[in-house]
Amino acid sequence: MVARPYWKGQIRLALVSIPVEIYSATRSGATIAFNQIHEPSGKRIKYEKIVPGIGPIDLDDIVKGFEYAKGEYVLLDEKEIEGVKLESKKTLELTQFVDAHDIDMIYFEKPYYVVPADDLAEEAFIVLREALRRSRKVGLGQLAMRGREYVVSIKACGRGMVMETLRYADEVNKAARYFHEIGDGEPDDELLDLATTLIDKKTGKFHASDFHDRYVDALKELIEHKKKGKTLNIDSDDEGGADPRGNNVVDLMAALKKSIGPASKAKATAKKPAGKVAAKSDAKSAGKTSAKKRA
């Protein structure tokens, strides 16, 4: 089955217009959907659209309304909403170009694949794609889709391009509200060396296929057991609300050393600056000399 484009329109760069189609680059992962069931009868619960004092109503009689005062609404039908004129409904105009690292990752929302709409658009599409790749820039613009206008970015991706919707500034909570109580003290050098060594040890290339939803797998297992009339002991791993950190306060130094293993521990020790080692050695020698003089 051929995928349907999520949006059709054109990318405009100055006087150049490129007809394109946009497709969703992601899909929802595997989930377990539950229905609400009336336990005594075993039947599924259904919901009806009801108006107080009138009862169930026909779906065709439903329109959208905006409450401008308590109990007072402005009614709008779909044609009126669709009639709101925005140039970005059919045209994505690239108004600015920035370095990719200039945009904080927290602003990125959802990716879409961008492809030329036809053979005639392909040449201009390829020129824009390669210009973005060569300059290592990301194009920015605004685009209206499915009832709202988004800030979007465009970048080269393989033979095509990827468009990503971005969150507006007022949609992102300021980090300072959450981080202000964290101290600004400097970490211990040895602890930092051990932590860095542990990160180096676990560093590798990202492969999305290495990860899967273990919660969904566990739910499927539970459902299969219930279908066969079996039960699972779900209380076996329950810690009864115990402190997740355990009963004893773990020594951070010991935990890091144990995590990286003996071989990596030696590497972490070797990373220490020679100046520090020499300073300790000189201090010991000076201590011994002073002790001899006192004797």
Q: Where are the domains of the chain?
A: 7-26+84-171, 189-200+250-272
Q: For 186, list phi and psi in degrees, rounded to 5.
A: -85, 140
pLDDT value at 283 more than 70: no
If you ran DSSP here, which 8-state letter would residue 176 be given? H
Right CATH for 7-26+84-171 from 1.10.3480.10, 3.40.50.280, 2.40.50.140, 2.40.290.10:
2.40.290.10
Residue 78, token pair as written in the block: 């779909």
Query: Which of 20-29, 154-163, 200-209 is least confident?
Result: 200-209
Q: What is the maximum alpha-carbon separation in the chain?
A: 105
Q: What is the pLDDT of residue 217?
A: 78
Distance CA 175, CA 221 (A): 39
Q: What is the pLDDT of residue 273?
A: 52
If you ran DSSP here, which 8-state letter would residue 19 be given? E
Distance CA 125, CA 129 (A): 6
Residue 175, token pair as written in the block: 């980090």
What number of other Cβ atoms are within 10 A of residue 256's Cβ?
Answer: 19
Q: What is the pLDDT of residue 240?
A: 52
- Average model confidence (pLDDT) across the chain: 80
Give the Cα-Cα-Cα angle 113, 126, 26 (nearest 5 degrees): 10
Q: What is the pLDDT of residue 178?
A: 87
Q: What is the pLDDT of residue 194?
A: 85
Average pLDDT in the 23-29 region?
85
Nearest to 95 by CA among 184, 1, 23, 12: 12
Q: What is the pLDDT of residue 11?
A: 94
pLDDT value at 132 more than 90: yes
The amino acid that residue 54 corresponds to is I
Q: What is the pLDDT of residue 267?
A: 59
**Mutual orientation of helices 189-201 and 252-270 as an angle, nearest 10°?**
80
State the sign of the Cα–Cα–Cα–Cα dihedral 144, 145, 151, 157.
negative
Average pLDDT in the 163-189 region?
89
Distance CA 68, CA 1 (A): 45
Show the DSSP H helices in the chain as ranges: 78-82, 119-135, 176-179, 189-201, 214-227, 252-270, 274-294
Q: Which of 140-149, 228-237, 264-273 has the highest mean predicted lDDT (pLDDT)?
A: 140-149
Query: Which of 35-39, 45-49, 191-195, 279-283 is least confident?
Result: 279-283
Assign 176 a pLDDT band (cuts: 50, 70, 90): confident
Distance CA 113, CA 92 (A): 14
Kindly report, residue by residue over 214-264, the tens digit of the pLDDT: 777 787 778 787 777 766 565 555 555 555 555 444 587 788 777 777 765
The amino acid that residue 57 corresponds to is I
Distance CA 148, CA 7 (A): 13
Query: Strands 160-166 and 108-116: what pairing?
Result: antiparallel
Residue 264, token pair as written in the block: 């990596």
Assign 157 a pLDDT band (cuts: 50, 70, 90): very high
Q: What is the DSSP string of 265-285?
A: HHHHHHTS-HHHHHHHHHHHH
Q: What is the pTM of this model?
A: 0.66
